[in-house]
Amino acid sequence: DGGITQSPKYLFRKEGQNVTLSCEQNLNHDAMYWYRQDPGQGLRLIYYSQIVNDFQKGDIAEGYSVSREKKESFPLTVTSAQKNPTAFYLCASRRDPGENTIYFGEGSWLTVV
């Protein structure tokens, strides 16, 4: 079955460490997105990519980095510069920027200890 796979589902990180969240899709989608969600809050856009080797900052990109070397993969690195990284991270994709339906991965829970 086609879909989006995020890993790990739960991750604990010590302060000062970088961590990378994986997002893989086998839907042949061009556009991919990373969102952050805090408890009781909406989704905020971190980065998005419309095509391989290209990505754009979203509303809260500081302290995060991404790469898009392959169409199916859009990993997110949470760097030590991100001051409050504990959150629920969601990866999403759609066939192209004009496509309506958005597909989500199951999310990754990151906790800084």
**By the criterion CB under 8 A, which residues form the site for other proteins?**
31, 33, 35, 40-43, 45, 48, 50, 56, 88, 90, 92, 97-98, 100-102, 104-107, 109
Q: Which is nearer to other proteins, 79 or 95 (CB)?
A: 95
Alpha helices by DSSP H, listed for 5-113, are none
Q: Which residues pair with 12 in a beta bridge?
A: 111
Q: Which is nearer to other proteins, 16 or 98 (CB)?
A: 98
Q: Where would I find the beta strands (DSSP E) of the chain?
A: 4-7, 10-13, 19-25, 31-37, 43-51, 54-57, 64-66, 76-78, 87-94, 103-104, 108-112
Q: Residue holding tokens 């990519």? A: 49
Q: Residue holding tokens 């979203």? A: 58
Q: How far is the CB of 98 from other proteins (least distance, A)?
A: 5
Q: Which is nearer to other proteins, 75 or 79 (CB)?
A: 75
Q: How far is the CB of 70 from other proteins (least distance, A)?
A: 19
Q: How far is the CB of 80 from other proteins (least distance, A)?
A: 26
Q: How many CB atoms lie within 10 A of CB 53?
A: 10
Q: How far is the CB of 58 from other proteins (least distance, A)?
A: 8
Q: Which is nearer to other proteins, 62 or 106 (CB)?
A: 106
